[in-house]
Amino acid sequence: AKPVVAVVGRPNVGKSTLFNKIAGSRISIVEDTPGVTRDRIYADCEWVGKQFTLIDTGGIEPYSSDIILLQMRRQAQLAIDTADVIVLLVDGREGMTASDLEVANMIRKSNRPVVLAVNKIENKDIEKNIYEFYNLGIGDPMAISAEQGLGLGDFLDRIVESF
Ligand code: GDP
Ligand code: MG
């Protein structure tokens, strides 16, 4: 079976934007898998000849912040349990939050390989924002912009190196 790569992180960091960017430009198929809840979306992807399945997590309705956080935990744990490689996505404009730390701690317990990507880094001025994410204790943060497609080549290299 193909390795499974799950994108996790708190709401609004850009998980779906990243998923669509990678899916839209690199993939063969995007499909909603029957029988799977609509908040988990799978795509078959390929990078430098290596195939993997990418999972987006967290497409939920914003009922209340309590429910969002509950959902985030549940979905992140599900994704972590099924993934071969975990992408923790964080927001380089908002900075590190308690929720980021919470998800990082879940990932650390899983002992799975993780790629830490700091999103929304569109210019040199805010590139320094990535350094505080070393405090999550799960490895070297890498700067990306899902929206602008910046840093995605290096990011995908890191993913396929973890298989
Ligand atoms: P999710 O909740 O983690 O899936 O986040 P979304 O993909 O829905 O994105 C949340 C918000 O962040 C949206 O307004 C996006 O347009 C915005 N966003 C996503 N990626 C980027 C990025 O690379 N740069 C900037 N500036 N905004 C982004
Ligand atoms: Mg989303």
Residue 153, C-beta contacts closer than 8 angstroms, at least 6 positions apart: none
What domains are defined for the chain?
4-161 (3.40.50.300)
ipTM computed for the complex: 0.99
Check if the beta carbon of residue 143 is closer than 8 Å to that of residue 132.
no
Collapsing DSSP to helix, strand or coil, 110 comes out as helix
- Protein residue closest via CA to atom 27 of ligand 1: 120
Reference 44, options 16, 3, 75; nearest CA is: 3
pLDDT (tens digit, 9 = 90+) per residue, 52-98? Answer: 999 887 643 344 567 667 777 777 788 888 899 999 999 999 999 99
Compute the average pLDDT of residues 98-114: 92
Confirm or deny that 122 is annotated as ligand binding: yes
pLDDT (tens digit, 9 = 90+) per residue, 111-162? Answer: 999 999 999 999 999 999 999 999 999 999 999 999 999 999 999 999 999 9
Confirm or deny that 11 is annotated as ligand binding: yes
Distance 1 CA to ligand 1 centre (A): 30
Residue 49 has pLDDT above 90, yes or no: yes
Check if the beta carbon of residue 89 is closer than 8 Å to that of residue 9.
yes
- pTM for the model: 0.89
Intra-chain end-to-end CA distance of the chain, in Å: 12
Please report the pLDDT score of residue 58 as a whole number.
66
